[in-house]
């Protein structure tokens, strides 16, 4: 997609970590005529971003970065969205669309609207990421064939939403739309609670007095190894995700707790049929995920390369 056909002539990225940096690289690769500016509150990150070419320009102030921008994308932890958006007040063109990449949509949309009243807002969430973070971690193909969920608010202009969807398609994503509250429930199931479980399992293993830390590391089998990969995700981002999406997370955790109790009962009473039926059902879900192209059937799920190292994150998460 060239700049002539791109929905925006100037895209400003606020927050130049994994997601923000990858957006910058993807736009430069897929939309070569589009101007990309970037900014981060950390001067060291700005220096790395300049060196890596994550944007055409990485100025010292946020005002310079968003001047004349047609689209501003907030790529910061979800509980920082409101504070960062507030710094943009009075600095944006009236028709500049403000979007984000957070994995919680209701709280983020409300936060941005509070501090930027009247500004066009189109929340979005690219369901892509890795366990790595920071400006060195970004790569242009991060969003290729990955979902980006756009969650228009009640006040969102449909034309603005279409432009944001076209932007994400232009850098390789497959786009879906959802209501913000439904998005938060879906992501609680597919991303947030699995991350919480991973953090818990890894923490439990490290705290066992009967098993040494060296044994946990040395004899990690595939299941635990994958848990540690998920649990290595950015702690700031995930702290904010759980606090910002707490209602949906707690609802799914309650359901999970009930299901776990049923499995405990089956193990205690030797109910092999119940265990087999449950495991067979979950195996089919795994096959469906591969058929949908959301993971790789190769050994170790192909996670030795970038295309297989994508997690449902947060994203936004970062």
pLDDT at residue number 219: 67
CA–CA dist 124, 137 (Å, integer): 21
Whether the CA torsion 153, 159, 164, 169 is positive or negative: it is: positive
pTM: 0.78
As a whole number of angstroms, the distance between CA 138 and CA 94 comes to 31
pLDDT tens sequence for the chain (318 residues): 544 468 999 999 999 999 999 999 999 999 999 999 999 999 999 999 999 999 999 999 999 999 999 999 999 999 899 999 999 999 999 999 999 999 899 999 999 999 999 999 999 999 987 777 889 999 999 999 999 999 999 899 999 999 999 999 999 999 999 999 999 998 888 888 888 888 888 887 777 756 666 676 676 666 777 777 777 777 887 888 888 888 888 988 888 889 889 999 999 999 999 889 888 888 777 676 666 665 555 544 444 444 333 333 333 333
Question: Domains plus CATH for the chain?
Answer: 10-179 (3.40.50.720), 182-308 (1.10.3660.10)
Residue 316's closest CA among 226, 184, 185, 160?
Answer: 184
Q: Which of 292, 36, 40 minimizes the C-alpha distance to 167?
A: 36
């Amino acid at each position: 997609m060239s700049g002539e056909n791109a929905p925006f002539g100037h895209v400003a990225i606020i927050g130049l970590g994994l997601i923000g940096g990858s957006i910058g690289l993807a736009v430069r690769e897929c939309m070569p005529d589009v101007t990309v500016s970037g900014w981060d509150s950390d001067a060291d990150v700005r220096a790395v971003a300049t060196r890596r070419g994550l944007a055409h320009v990485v100025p010292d102030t946020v005002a310079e970065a968003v001047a004349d921008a047609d689209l501003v994308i907030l790529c910061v932890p979800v509980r920082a969205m409101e504070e960062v958006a507030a710094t943009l007040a009075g600095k944006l063109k009236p028709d500049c669309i403000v979007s984000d990449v957070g994995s919680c949509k209701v709280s983020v949309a409300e936060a941005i609207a509070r501090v930027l009243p009247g500004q066009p807002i189109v929340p979005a969430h690219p369901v892509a990421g890795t366990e790595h973070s920071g400006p060195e971690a970004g790569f242009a193909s991060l969003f290729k064939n990955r979902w980006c969920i756009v969650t228009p608010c009640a006040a969102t202009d449909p034309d603005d939403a279409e432009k944001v969807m076209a932007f994400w398609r232009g850098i390789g994503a497959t786009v879906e739309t959802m209501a913000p509250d439904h998005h938060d429930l879906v992501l609680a199931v597919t991303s947030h609670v699995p991350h919480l479980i991973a953090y818990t399992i890894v923490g439990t293993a490290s705290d066992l007095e009967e098993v040494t830390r060296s044994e946990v590391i040395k004899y990690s089998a595939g299941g635990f190894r994958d848990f540690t990969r998920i649990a290595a995700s950015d702690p700031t981002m995930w702290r904010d995700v759980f606090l910002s999406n707490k209602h949906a997370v707690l609802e799914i955790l309650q359901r999970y707790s009930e299901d776990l109790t049923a499995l405990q009962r089956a193990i205690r009473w030797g109910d092999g049929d119940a265990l087999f039926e449950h495991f067979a059902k979950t195996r089919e879900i795994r096959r469906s995920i591969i058929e949908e192209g959301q993971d790789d059937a190769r050994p170790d799920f192909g996670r030795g390369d970038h295309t297989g190292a994508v997690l449902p994150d947060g994203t936004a998460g970062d």
